[in-house]
Structure 1
Amino acid sequence: MKIQIIKYFKQLSITRKVILILITILVIGYIFCLPRQLFHVPYSTVVTDRNGELLGARIASDGQWRFPPRTTTPEKIKQCLITFEDRHFYRHWGVNPVSISRAAYQNLKNKRIVSGGSTLTMQTIRLARNESRTFGEKFIEMILATRLEFRASKEKILSMYISHAPFGGNVVGLDAATWRYFGHPAEELSWAEAAMLAVLPNAPAMIHLSKSRQLLLNKRNRLLKQLYARKIIDNSTYELAISEPLPDEPHPLPQTAPHLVSRFYQERNGKYSISTIDRGIQTQIENAAERWSNEFNRSDIRNLAILVIDIRTNQVVAYCGNVNFERKQAGNQVDVIQAPRSTGSILKPFLYYAMLQEGSLLPHTLLPDIPVNINGFTPQNFSLQFEGAVPASEALARSLNIPAVTMLQRYGVPKFHTFLRQIGLKTINRPASHYGLSLILGGAEATLWDVTNAYAYMGRSLLQLPQTECSLLLADAEGSGESEVFASGKSTDTFQSGAAWQTFNALTEVNRPEEIDWKSIPSMHPIAWKTGT
């Protein structure tokens, strides 16, 4: 076959050979004329909760509110766009000859550009190229538009257009526009809202909320009338839609879990991320943090953080990195969950567990709570009192310092230091000799993230579940799983259920900061907890 083609080519005249070569070059050029990636623009960082509700976003690096591209277009905005911009969108191959001819006639008649005749596919190419509008550029857009029709489906082209269309000011794309103008996702658009957004990209610099509002309203209502005339909407829907007012001004984006959104911005910049956060729980936690912050402010304590992990799913359901994020003072924008802080007494349960597990301690083992001096180190209890002989479980529940130091001296600082590293306390990274016996009383620093994960490991051991670092990322826009940025995936089998149960059982005796006797109320749940002042 190949030989026959060569023979046939040799038999052709020079003119036909030249024509054939030119045609081949043109076909190859047409095939490869469209870049693999059309848009090379930065995107905003967008974070939602586990159910897709927006938690917050950070502006793109070029100062535009441009959310990551959509893969679908809501039905209302689709109908409005096609009716307003390109009624034959599903019947042409990127170029509508009738529209082009009509636009050319109108432009020549008026001796200026009054109509472009561009299809939605051509407008998508223009948005991607971002070149000046000339006749030569229009011809290039037509060529590339037909090529795009071969590559992508109509739905894909529509989603590309709606993701990059300008909507006035620094708002680009449907998702950013719906949140900025209406304060809700695109899937909840009313017909009036969809119609307003459909007419905005046509002249976003001339007509928008703060300029020529009446013209914008008139264009929106004309489009609604066309939708009614084409029987896309019924009479009652039309009447309700035209009575709906335009929004007064752009809405601020949600600011839920702002420290988490900032973390995603640093580590997943420009991506759309579905987090493991439950927005309902997150809101409750943030309200609780604000109430306690008001109390603590009296003692000049201005920063606090809360991390909530669902033990069974091993996912973070609430992430409150600090309070008063918007104030930009007193370190309120610092994510305390990720910041190393003194461990205080929070490591005592781990020492208790370790000694139980190796058999060198039992819950009722008596420990001395008497004045001691260990090479000049004289630990004191918070109460400045001494209890004599105290059962180990009670010493843990009451967080007595002297028994804890005695336990660490018996167990060995190097061995406990190794244990803490095994359970994921990464910031305890100096030699054991650097900390000494003060390691158990706050002589080291750890992050709330690491400490909470370590306690979660212990809790998951009781449920016979894998002991792995909890996750923050449920999926991204492409539906892929969590990123190693947010969960290392490393597994540990350090904790065994027997000693873990004994440890938690002792911690249920910790006095709660409540004025009531919680044990006398049947509806109150037992809680194992530990303070770490």
Structure 2
Amino acid sequence: MKGRAVSWLRGHPRTVLFFFAVLLGWYAFSLPRPLFRPPYSLVLESQTGTLLGARIAKDGQWRFPVPEELPPSFTAALVEFEDRRFYRHPGIDPIGLGRALWQNLKAGRVVSGGSTLSMQVIRMSLGNPPRTVLRKIQELILATRLELSYSKQHILQLYAAHAPFGGNVVGLEAAAWRYFGKPPALLTWSESAMLAVLPNSPGLIHPGRNRAALAAKRDRLLERLCQAGYFSQADLQLFRQEPLPEAPRPLPQYAPHLLSRLQADGREGRITSTIDAVLQQQLTELAAHHQSVMRANQVHNLAVLVLDTETGETLAYIGNAPNAGQPHSEDVDIIPAPRSTGSILKPLLYAYSLQEGLILPSTLLLDIPTRLSGYQPENFHEDYDGAVSAERALARSLNVPMVRLLQDYGLEKFHLRLRQLGLGHIRYPARHYGLPLVLGGAEASLWELTGIYASMGRTLLHQYAHNGWYTPSDFRPAVFEPAPLPERPLQQEPAPMSAGAAWLAFEAMQHLERPGAEGQWEAFSSSRKIAWKTGTSFGFRDAWAIGASPRYTVGVWVGNADGEGRPGLVGVRAAAPLLFEVFNRLPAAEGWFPPPWDALHPVQACRQSGYAPSPHCPVDTAWAAAPLLKTGACPYHQVLHLERDSRLRAHAGCAPASMLIPEPWFLLPPAAAYFYQKRNPAYAPPPTWAPGCKDGQDDNMALIYPQHPARVKVPVDLDGQPSKVIFSAAHRFPGQTVYWHLDETYLGATTTFHSMELSPSPGHHLLTLVDEGGQTLQQPFFVLE
């Protein structure tokens, strides 16, 4: 029979070769690819590998991804306990199999499997099927195939990642955190020994059950490790004294909102972030303290975002106050949430106006009661400067000048610019937002806004390195994972903001008055420079503060997640103090952004008004973000003719030409002059006319309310009766008397402060004002029903 078989094999060599080829092919492709396919926990780590938090896997197991390396103590304990000849066999240990077979025959039942670590890895990869002879043969074959595909170290890593450690804990890393509250690298020999024996009997870990058996197994393994020379007898006695863990411990939750953001995006597995773990913990404690203070005003939520200005990488991500509590939406991540911007967009309008030559930092903007397209902006303190430089208007966050600037710049164009910068929550057309766009009429997120200010700083940092050219990728969203930048060629055109505009904006933003004790900060030469801006939304619902330095950009939001407004919830009081506390925790003394001389242009400008020069104004040289000014010639300088002796105004019709002296005069419009001279005592109104020299009407009066076109609505008191409307006017000369008339009926006179309460009936009316010099000002208006 044997001879016939041999003869048949010799007579059919092709069949034999085909048969062996099939076996070889099956063997080559017998190993599953990938070997394991379970869902893994979402694991978030810091830039240095510190665990920031984790989420349980989709199947309800704490199963961390395969680790890159194992601690030597656990590796030694595992091999000593499970497979002493692991490094010497090819996946199958004949000695171990023989011993197991003898023990099973002797006991009359299965008491030992003789499985190597490689065989156990195969068994786990197959889902731990029932033990049968065929399954054992399959494990033997696949174990040898496993050894051909993976290194011994990788096989140990696969085992450590997928072995059961009791309850819903799978894998060494999850077990180390759940039972000992530490990463595997910090495990002691006693802890490593306990975890090495646990997969063999995972039920022993349950608190209050079989703890003595678990301790005995651990101690026996420690004794074997001592005998193998891993540590001394004295160490052995100490290791035996270490207690077993009690109930499983919670995992670290240093960045819970970022972790939830990743989970919402469907992410799983191990994610190495750019977060600085130490800074994250420090700022979390700082945020908790600040929230405890704000809670007295029923303000419960806040968010802090810290970016590396150069890279845009996130260094700290506090999505909400850690002690707000569930009733106050502690789990809501504020950082990506759209909120009303308040005044935080003003620096962007300022920068773009500079970039297009519409203004200089010194250009005067009118700050007077204003009504544009039915909208009447008001300053926060309900006062006016009359005229204020653009730089000062930004530093003081004045609403009226910025709304007037937006009107001049163009609402549609500014809306487009904001979209180009990446404000994705501005989804409606520009007319939907109107002029309040720059005051908080739109929504943006802390993530978007902080990224924009970091991009402005990044553009400035790269100007010298790129010889004045621009990197298109400098303006980009922030990131919380390391990511390579796309290679894009340099370009001469700004993308999308010029370095000159960004630098001038940051220069203006340095001069905001810091809150609290920081108010005299300029007296300390060691204080760092920060370009910063606050914002407050309508109804006191959102308080913002964003600051940028060459190294860091910090964004802070304070408010209530449900949108409830609170009195006093303003950016400079609620958010700015936290902003500077955060900067105080960051490394200091990084200098300031270098001036981008290639993007700045020397231009001639009127010294007092910041407009292009006229023939009558003193001229200075100023640095501009645009090579040409579009301001037009200065409208505030006029030539007045004064009598040589009296210094009163005159003209050739009433005085000899030889007695007249032409003199340039800085002359604001009446309404602007009325407010301006209150804050600027040096402002000189024009001299009065010499006797007999007045020529025509002077422009000395202006109505503040109502302005043309005038449609007035009379308010109604609580009793349903019509109330009164305050009509007001301004006069260029303080102390002048103004006489009021309504529909040719004399109402009375006012001096210095020109306002009068009226209750006009519905319909058309004519208001007439006459001053002492006989100047008349008339304003028709219509009172609504």
Pair 1:493-2:495 in alignment: yes
Which residue in 1 is equivalent to 2:734? Answer: none
- Tell me, what secondary structure is at the counterpart of 2:331? coil
Which residue in 2 is equivalent to 1:506? Answer: 508
Supply the distance in 1 between the matched residues of 2:258 and 2:399 (Cα, whole angstroms).
35
Which residue in 2 is equivalent to 1:109? Answer: 106
Supply the distance in 1 between the matched residues of 2:85 and 2:160 (Cα, whole angstroms).
17
Which residue in 2 is equivalent to 1:426? Answer: 424
Of 356, 364, 367, the residue aligned with 1:366 is 364
- Tell me, what secondary structure is at the counterpart of 1:376? coil
Say whether the 8 Å CA contact 1:309–1:456 is kept in structure 2.
yes
Alignment of 1:368-383 (within 5 A): 368-383=366-381
Deviation at 1:268, TM superposition (A): 5.5
Pair 1:522-2:525 in alignment: yes
- Tell me, what secondary structure is at the counterpart of 2:531? coil
Deviation at 1:211, TM superposition (A): 2.2
One-letter identity of the residue aligned with 1:204: P
Task: Map Cα deviations across residues 203-240 of structure 1 (whole Å, 9 max, x no partner).
Answer: 10245444211111111111110011111222333222
The range that moved more, 76-85 or 205-214, is 205-214
User: If each structure's helix is expressed as a fraction of its own residues, which one has the higher value?
Assistant: 1
Deviation at 1:105, TM superposition (A): 1.6
Q: Between the two proteins, what is the percent identity of the paired residues?
A: 49
One-letter identity of the residue aligned with 2:525: P
Say whether the 8 Å CA contact 2:121–2:159 is kept in structure 1.
yes
Deviation at 1:70, TM superposition (A): 1.6
Say whether the 8 Å CA contact 2:346–2:438 is kept in structure 1.
yes
Q: 1:12 to 1:51 in 2, by over 3 A?
A: closer
Task: Map Cα deviations across residues 257-281 of structure 1 (whole Å, 9 max, x no partner).
Answer: 1101112223362221111111111
Supply the distance in 1 between the matched residues of 2:526 and 2:20 (Cα, whole angstroms).
83
Supply the distance in 2 between the matched residues of 1:58 and 1:17 (Cα, whole angstroms).
57
Task: Map Cα deviations across residues 374-411 of structure 1 (whole Å, 9 max, x no partner).
Answer: 12211111111122111111111111110010000000
Say whether the 8 Å CA contact 1:200–1:208 is kept in structure 2.
no
Pair 1:63-2:60 in alignment: yes
Task: Map Cα deviations across residues 104-126 of structure 1 (whole Å, 9 max, x no partner).
Answer: 12112212211111100000011
Supply the distance in 2 between the matched residues of 1:473 and 1:324 (Cα, whole angstroms).
23
Supply the distance in 2 between the matched residues of 1:210 and 1:44 (Cα, whole angstroms).
28
Q: TM-score, normalised by structure 1?
A: 0.92
Deviation at 1:482, TM superposition (A): 6.1
Task: Map Cα deviations across residues 116-153 of structure 1 (whole Å, 9 max, x no partner).
Answer: 11100000011111211222211211111111111111
Which residue in 1 is equivalent to 2:477? Answer: 469
Long gaps (5+) in structure 2? 1-7, 464-473, 537-785
Say whether the 8 Å CA contact 1:107–1:114 is kept in structure 2.
yes
Which residue in 1 is equivalent to 2:398? Answer: 400
Alignment of 1:29-178 (within 5 A): 29-130=26-127, 131-178=129-176
Deviation at 1:20, TM superposition (A): 4.2
Of 439, 448, 452, the residue aligned with 1:441 is 439
Supply the distance in 1 between the matched residues of 2:391 and 2:377 (Cα, whole angstroms).
19
Say whether the 8 Å CA contact 1:207–1:215 is kept in structure 2.
no
Say whether the 8 Å CA contact 2:53–2:256 is kept in structure 1.
yes
Deviation at 1:201, TM superposition (A): 0.4
- Tell me, what secondary structure is at the counterpart of 1:329? helix
Pair 1:459-2:457 in alignment: yes
Say whether the 8 Å CA contact 1:473–1:483 is kept in structure 2.
no
Deviation at 1:424, TM superposition (A): 1.3
Q: 1:411 to 1:17 in 2, by over 3 A?
A: closer
Task: Map Cα deviations across residues 342-401 of structure 1 (whole Å, 9 max, x no partner).
Answer: 111110000000111111111111111111111221111111112211111111111111
Pair 1:195-2:197 in alignment: no
One-letter identity of the residue aligned with 1:61: K
Which residue in 2 is equivalent to 1:531? Answer: 534
Supply the distance in 2 between the matched residues of 1:482 and 1:61 (Cα, whole angstroms).
30
Supply the distance in 1 between the matched residues of 2:450 and 2:373 (Cα, whole angstroms).
33
Of 329, 334, 351, the residue aligned with 2:327 is 329
Long gaps (5+) in structure 1? 1-10, 475-480, 485-490
Task: Map Cα deviations across residues 242-263 of structure 1 (whole Å, 9 max, x no partner).
Answer: 2222122222111101101112
Which residue in 2 is equivalent to 1:488? Answer: none
Alignment of 1:277-296 (within 5 A): 277-296=275-294
Say whether the 8 Å CA contact 1:122–1:141 is kept in structure 2.
yes
The range that moved more, 294-303 or 112-121, is 294-303
Which residue in 2 is equivalent to 1:265? Answer: 263
One-letter identity of the residue aligned with 2:475: Q
- Tell me, what secondary structure is at the counterpart of 2:178? helix
One-letter identity of the residue aligned with 1:62: D
Q: 1:76 to 1:268 in 2, by over 3 A?
A: farther
Supply the distance in 1 between the matched residues of 2:116 and 2:277 (Cα, whole angstroms).
41
Supply the distance in 2 between the matched residues of 1:81 and 1:378 (Cα, whole angstroms).
76
Supply the distance in 2 between the matched residues of 1:385 and 1:229 (Cα, whole angstroms).
86
Q: 1:48 to 1:101 in 2, by over 3 A?
A: same
Supply the distance in 1 between the matched residues of 2:320 and 2:378 (Cα, whole angstroms).
31
- Tell me, what secondary structure is at the counterpart of 1:42? coil
Supply the distance in 1 between the matched residues of 2:130 and 2:205 (Cα, whole angstroms).
21
Say whether the 8 Å CA contact 2:9–2:16 is kept in structure 1.
no
Supply the distance in 2 between the matched residues of 1:33 and 1:501 (Cα, whole angstroms).
64
Supply the distance in 2 between the matched residues of 1:288 and 1:483 (Cα, whole angstroms).
33
One-letter identity of the residue aligned with 2:294: F
Q: 1:190 to 1:469 in 2, by over 3 A?
A: same
State the Cα RMSD in Å: 2.1
Alignment of 1:337-376 (within 5 A): 337-376=335-374
One-letter identity of the residue aligned with 1:229: Q
Deviation at 1:22, TM superposition (A): 3.1
Which residue in 2 is equivalent to 1:389? Answer: 387
- Tell me, what secondary structure is at the counterpart of 2:307? strand
Of 300, 304, 310, the residue aligned with 1:302 is 300
Task: Map Cα deviations across residues 417-445 of structure 1 (whole Å, 9 max, x no partner).
Answer: 11111111111121111111111111101
One-letter identity of the residue aligned with 2:301: N
| Structure with bigger RCO (C-alpha 8 Å, 6+ apart) | 1
- Tell me, what secondary structure is at the counterpart of 1:402? helix
